[in-house]
Structure 1
Amino acid sequence: MTVRRRRVLYIPGYDPFHPRRYRELYRKEGAAQAAVSGYALTQAKGDTAYSWQVTAQMDGAEVEAEVEVLVWSDIVANSMSRSIPATYLQLIRTAWAYIGTGALFRLMRLRQGPVIAALYPIVVLLVQLVVACLVGWGAALIVDWAVGGWVGALLGVAVALCLITVVLRWFKAKDPRIFAYYLMHDYAFSARWRGANPPELEARMATFADRIAEAALSDVDEVLVVGHSSGAHLAISVLADLIRAGRLPAGKVAFLSLGHVVPMVSFLPEANRLRADLNVMAAQDFVAWVDVTAPGDGCAFALCDPVAVTGVSPKEQRWPLVISAAFTQTLSDRQQQELKRRYFRLHFQYLCAFDNPGDYDYFRITAGPVTLRQRFAGRAPSPSRLTRPINTFTDMAA
């Protein structure tokens, strides 16, 4: 069946920004990919601030797609600690959640990149604290030497505390460039509930389910759910809920997970809900599930089958189809040079244009005339994928 109309429901990762960021990214990168691949792609405003309309001419067909961002950026923003002391408290709690449960050491047996990304904010924030304390201590010694006596000692302590605060605030002001606070909030969000979802997130996921179910009952040819980064495991749970409730028609809905970080959550002891959802999604055949990662993305668990490595594979596992975006092949030398050491930007490359696109082309998938299931029918999974169970917490919610 040729797709003439499609609904795309995009669930972003842990991102506090307005959905217009994704609209503008789609417009810019879609135009770049169209120029490379030789198809036509135009974009217009959608019915809401969170959506946009796409018209494409590809492979002799015209396709209309409505892309909508399912928003949880307000929950993300509210979870970010406003104070510096609260962030350091998050650091202690997060380190204990992953180290104390042994999850960190098991994650290191999968891919080092995302583990390094998880350790990065801890190390950077601790270094910042040490530097601030050294500056404060040095100033206290100078004041104590200059003034002397108990007055000098008290004044030195006061100066030290002021300088420590000033230095830490200066470091925080520079965080848009180094992402230490941002990443700390990201990992702390899952660690705080040890893998469970907070009530406000569960409520939002229920609204996501309603939007997807509504789209599935419309007269479009395909409903495509896209989950990027942390949004991938949210989409897994939302779709599993819909399948259990019998709210999805077979074959009409497809799921594309991009740059997933599922093990960062599923390896935690209280992630019973997510592990049960992974088990459901792996065995069902209502929703075709294609998982795309790339070894060049240091923030994702590249080519790790999220079901298998979590240790919850059903006897007959159908999904996901794990494939690689193969950045070393699909990105030109120029693109690779431009993106060198831009790790956060590489994590978003799945949503962007490739100079040498292979069978993964985000814009063909979201706006082309072929369904996700048909596009990858018969496609073998990546031979480099990891499927060995590593997780020791395998309890699943009833």
Structure 2
Amino acid sequence: MTDTPGQEVHRRRVMYIPGYDPVPPRKYRERYRREAAAQAAISGYDIALGPKQTRGKFGWHVSAEMEGAAVETDIEVMYWSDIVRDSMSHGILATYGQLFRTAWIYIWSGALFRLMTLRKGPVIAALYPVVFLLGQLLAALAVGVVVAFVVEWMGHRILGIPLSFFGLVLGLVMVWAVLDLFRRQDGRFLAYYLMHDYAFSARYCGAYPPEQEDRMREAADQIAAALQADVDEVLIVGHSSGAYIAVSILSDLIRAGRIPADGPRLALLTLGQVVPMVSFLPKADRLRADLAFLSSRDEITWVDVTAPGDGCAFALCDPVSVTGVAPEGKRWPLVISAAFTQTLSPEKWKALRWRLFELHFQYLNAFDQPGDYDYFRITAGPLSLQSRFADRAPSKSRIERPVNRYTSMAA
């Protein structure tokens, strides 16, 4: 491969860690294919996808010509959507049980009120499934009461026989039928999905579930193998709740001495992070320790990208500082904004503004007025993450004040 002046990366490995998302990895490949083509047409570079060339289960290969250089990249998805699907298999009653337990944990711990002092958007997003599911329950109960009343009235006035018991049974059947109808339509409302998401994080009050710890160890092994490969950069991308998972995986690798001194550059890109939703919980000792540890390491480059327009993320909140665990000598992350109102045209911004779920994935998409954040230049371009943002100042509007009540850390 011919060297181009200034080219640092000829070959790259990208490990993508999704958030709480039940979709199969191929959906991420198709998003990358579609959005890379759109960004290439806008920005004037060439990018093409092919079959994966690594041993991982889920991934693809990218060949790119940009900034006067040719780069080969292998992207792999760190799979845990099966764990997500299992956690979403609860029925109606179990979901309402999750609702009350999760709400109690966030209210009792004080996390809910402290999170609201940072960004109201993600807290409103967290409250949405609670309010919507309670609204569904009230609507179902109302239908059940009306049905029971009508049946009893018909028994008294028309048939002249008591039908109270039959009316009660039929009313309860209608309550369940209405709740089941809402559940079957959740693809439109996403109330059950979001409730399962927040319940998954709160189930152990901020500690990782055992099955997730197992999967994180597998991901650590895959990253360690990539660091032994003939590549110039290993880039870990954590989106949404995948951001804090990535922090813990990399912390484990560094503590275990699995980062070769003469190996490829190691970088972490966190996108649309929701770290405070977990790090503010009482038993998130491991995550808080990992945040503090990783924020001062010189083995990595860590860039955190959010946007105030993303109502599901803690936009421009430094996840280490707001958690209250910033150590002396803290270096990371570099907190910058994707600035949706500037990097998206007025027409596209208007079309996406109230599509909150799609906005949360915009970091992985094309921008029609791109700034210095371009997902495809970062993942398939000739510069390392470190060099690409070496002269980038952090966002002036970032939030760094410590807000968290719980700052204990695992030993």
TM-score scaled by length of structure 2: 0.95
Give, in angstroms, the shift of residue 153 of structure 1. 1.0
Residues 1:343 and 2:356 are matched in the alignment: yes
Structure 2 matches for 1:133-282, cutoff 5 A?
133-148=141-156, 151-250=162-261, 252-282=265-295
Task: After TM superposition, list the pairs within 5 Å mapping 1:28-177 onto structure 2.
Answer: 28-47=34-53, 50-148=58-156, 151-177=162-188
What is the Cα deviation at residue 349 of structure 1?
Answer: 0.1
SS of the residue aligned with 1:312? coil
Return the offset for 1:82.
Answer: 3.0
Identity %: 62
2:328, 2:44 → 1: CA distance?
43
Contact residue 99 and residue 105 of structure 1 kept, 8 A: yes
> Which ranges of structure 1 fall in alignment gaps of 5 or more residues?
none
Normalising by structure 1, we get a TM-score of: 0.98
Q: SS state of the match for residue 41, structure 1?
A: strand
1:360 is aligned to: 373
Contact persistence 1:228–1:260 (CA under 8 A): yes
Name the stretch that deviates more: 116-125 or 333-342.
333-342
- For 2:200 and 2:241, how far apart are their aligned partners in 1? 11
How far is 1:49 from its partner?
5.1
> Is the CA contact 2:239–2:271 (under 8 Å) kept in the aligned structure 1?
yes
Per mean C-alpha deviation after superposition, the further-off stretch among 265-274 and 152-161 is 152-161
Verify the 8 A CA contact 1:9 1:212 in the aligned structure 2: yes
Query: 1:329 aligns to what?
Result: 342
Q: Residues 91 and 122 of structure 1 are in contact (CA less than 8 Å); yes or no, is this contact kept in structure 2?
A: yes
Aligned residue among 365, 376, 388 for 1:375: 388
Aligned residues: 398
The amino acid across from 1:340 in the alignment is R
Question: Retained in 2: the 8 A contact 1:132–1:163?
Answer: yes
Q: Which residue of structure 1 aligns with residue 4 of structure 2?
A: none
What is the SS of the residue equivalent to 1:283? Answer: coil
Partner deviation per Cα, 1:294-313 (whole Å, 9 max, x = no partner): 00000000000000000000
Q: Could you list the per-position Cα deviations for residues 67-101 of structure 1 after superposition, in whole angstroms to 9, with x for gaps in the alignment?
A: 00000001111111431000000001100110011
Give the CA deviation at 1:261: 0.1
In 2, the alpha carbon distance for the partners of 1:161 and 1:46 equals 53
Map Cα deviations across residues 240-265 of structure 1 (whole Å, 9 max, x no partner).
00111111135711000000000000
For 1:180, the aligned partner's letter is A
SS of residue matched to 1:390: coil
The separation in 2 between residues aligned to 1:233 and 1:82, in whole angstroms, is 25
Q: 1:150: how far off?
A: 8.3
Whole-Å separation in 2 of the counterparts to 1:268 and 1:150: 57
Runs of 4+ in 1 over 6 A off after TM superposition: none
Counterpart amino acid of residue 9 in structure 2: V
Q: Is the Cα contact below 8 Å between 2:309 and 2:353 reproduced in 1?
A: no
